[in-house]
A and B are shown apart, each in its own frame.
Chain A
Amino acid sequence: MIPIVDAPQRRAPSLDIDCTLATAWLVAFLRDELIERRKTHRAVLGLSGGVDSAVAAYLCARALGPENVTCFRMPYKTSSADSLDDARAVTEALGCGERTIEITAAVDGYLQNEPDADGRRRGNVMARTRMIVLFDQSAKLGALPIGTGNKTERMMGYFTWHADDSPPLNPIGDLFKTQVWALARHLGVPERIVAKAPSADLEANQTDENDLGITYLEADRILSLMLAGYGDEKIAARGFAPSDVALVRAKVESTHWKRHLPTTAMLSSTAINEFYLRPVDF
C-alpha cells in the first residue's frame, strides 16, 4: 500500500495575524500620518471601556508617548459603571491623559423634546454627541481624533454614520474583531477588557453579539470568505449555517452607503471624487 496524505481542508482564510508586525506597522502609520503629515504629536480618542478603543489607545501611546494622548470617557446617565472603570484601567496602565465629560445634559437637552425617540435614535444621538465632544476637544488641544471602529462592525454597518466613523485616522479599521482581541492581548490590554462581552452600552445588558445575531468569531470567518469572493453556497459548504451566512450577507449588502461619503448629484465633468480625483494626502 502506498501511503496517502490528505491535504487539510481549510474552513476559512486564517484570521491569525502576527501581532508584533501589526503593532510595528500601525505605530509607524500613526507616526507618519500624525507627526510627519499633519504636524501634530497629539491624539484624542474616546474610551468606551471596550477593547477597540483600548487597543487604539495603546497604539497611540506607543506611537506618540502617553503624555501626548488624551482619552475621554463620555458617559451618558445610563452608561454602566463597569465601562467607566474599564476605561480608567486603560489610562492608568498607559499613564496617558484622561478626562470625563458627561454627555447626559447635551443629549437630554435635545431628546427632552423628542419623547418618542426609540433606542436606535437615542443611541445615534449619543454617538453623534460624543463626536461633537471629541472634535471640539481635538481643536482645543491641537490634537487629532483617532477612530476606533473595527472591520467587522464597519462591514456589518454596526455603527453610527458620521459618528464612530468620523475621526480622520483609524489604526484598527482593517482588523476584524477577533484580530483586535489578539492584538489587545499582545499589547497587554487588561484581560478583563478583552474577555468581556462587547457592548455598545447604550442600554442595560446589551451585547453586540445579541444585537448582530451572530458571534464575532463566526461573523469574521464568514466575512473573510465573503471578502475573498466566495458566494454564499460555497461559504455554507465550509460548515457555516446558511442562516448565518444570509444574515451576514444582508448586513453587508444593506450598508454599502455607510462606508462612503454622501452621494452627490453629478452635473459636470469636474465633479469632486468622480472626475476631480486627488488622494487624501495630496
Chain B
Amino acid sequence: MGIWKSEWKPLVLMAVLGVAAWWLVYRSLEPFGQWFAFQLLGLTERGGLGLAVAFFAFEAPKVLMLLVVVVFGVGVVRSFFTPERTRAILAGRRESVGNVLAALLGVVTPFCSCSAVPLFIGFVATGVPLGVTLSFLISAPMVNEIALVLLFGLFGWKVAALYAGTGLVIAIVAGWVIGRLKLERWVEPWVYQVATGPSATVAPLTWGDRVEFGREAVKDIVGRVWPYVLAGIGVGAAIHGYVPQDFMASIMGRGAWWSVPLAVLIGVPMYSNAAGIIPIVQALLEKGAALGTVLAFMMSVIGLSLPETIILRKVLKVPLIATFVGVVAAGILVVGYVFNLVL
C-alpha cells in the first residue's frame, strides 16, 4: 500500500470509466459504418460507393481511437527510455550483441527524425560502433509502434509479430553487415572530431510527468498525423469499393516474381507515417495482394525515406548513404520473397 495515494482514487475511477466507454464505442463502430452508408445515406451494398463509404465510416473513427490509446501508452513507456540511457547501454559492446541491443532499443527510445543527427554524433563520437549506431537508426523508424498496434488490431498478432520480428532482423543484420564493411571512412570526419561534453542529465520524472508525456505525445503525434490517416483510409476505402476482387493478385500476387522488387522500388522514395499506410495495406491484402509483397512495400515506405537521407547527408558521405539504403532495401526484398514463398 506504500505508493497508493488516496487522492488517486477519483482519477483511477475516471480512467476505468473512460476505458469502458471507449470499448463500448469501439465495438459499435462496425455496425455504425454499415448503418451510416446503407441506412442513413441509402447507398446500395452492391455498389462501389456504398462499400467505400461503409469502409470509411467504420475504419476512420476506429483507427483514430486506436491511435490515441496506443500513442498515449507508448508515450508513457518512452518516458522511461532516454537516448542517454540507450547510449550508456550500448557503449563499448561487442558488435553482434550491440547490434541486437541497438535494434531493440531503437524501438522503445524516443526518436524523431530531426534528432537523427545529434543522436548519431552522440553515439559515434563516444565510442558506439558505426554498425551498432546504424542498427538503432534503422529500427527506430522501421519498427513503428503505431504500425504494430494497427496491424495487430486489423490482422491479428501473427502479422504484427512478423512485422516486428523481420524489422528487427533487418536492422540487426544490416547494421552488422555495414559494421563488417568497415565504412568509417565515409562518415563525415568532423563527427569524430567534435568535442563532446558530458552527458546532459535532466531531473528524474514523476508519474505525473509521464502521464503528461503521454498526453503531449497524443496531442503532438495524432494532431499532426490525422490528415494522413484519413487520406490513407480514403485510399483504402476507394480500393475496397472500386478495385475488383482479385485485381491486385495479378500485379502484387504471389505469382508475379517482380512484384516484390517493384513494391520496394516504389516504396523507398515514398514517405508516409505508419498510421496512414496501414489502411492501404489492409485494402491491398483484401484484394489479393501477397502478404510478403505488401509487407515489403510498407517497410520500404516507413523504413526509408528521402527526407531522412537528406538529413543524414549532414553526417554521412554519399557512398555510405547509398550503402545504407541499399543494404536495408535488400533486406526488405529478402523478407518479401521469403514470406511469399513460405506463407
Tell me, yes or no, whether A binds B.
Answer: no
Q: Which B residues contact A (CB, under 8 angstroms)?
A: none
